[in-house]
Amino acid sequence: MELMTKEILIEQIQTVLFESRKNVAKEVNTQLLQAYWNIGRLIIEYEQDNNIRAEYGKQTLKEISKTLTKKIGRGFSVSNLQFMRRFFQKYKMEQIQQTASVKLSWSHYVLYMPKREQLIAQVEAVLEKQKAIESNSTGI
């Protein structure tokens, strides 16, 4: 049986530590995504319960942003709160839990969401054109 060298011991300790740090980062990411989704849900529910319209909603988000920033700190700008609202509207919790396991962070969702919406709009436009062409060709 070979004796473990100090270098091997240090490598093994490093491996254990790096794996643990990676797992902690994944869990923090998952928890943050779930928190942002739930914040979006709370905002939507508040707006629906109070029949808040778009213009008043913008003012409400400004007030919420100001208060949260004062009480909690950075990360609650109006635009970030708007992304949280959209995040809740566009994704189911199950999707978030699945994608969090493949390392998508909040930044990825923020970057991806407008592109996803743009792609959906383009596909819908193509389908509408195709539908119009088909109805015109069958109507002749």
If one compares 124 and 62, the residue with the highest pLDDT of the two is: 62
Residue 118 has pLDDT above 90, yes or no: no
Domain boundaries defined on the chain:
8-104
Predicted model pTM: 0.65
Q: What is the mean pLDDT of the chain?
A: 81
Confidence at residue 116, expressed as pLDDT on a 0 to 100 scale: 65
3-state secondary structure of 102: coil
Complete DSSP assignment for 5-23 = PHHHHHHHHHHHHHHHHHH
Q: What is the pLDDT of residues 83-93, one digit of tens each?
A: 999 989 888 88
Structure tokens belonging to residue 44: 């939507």
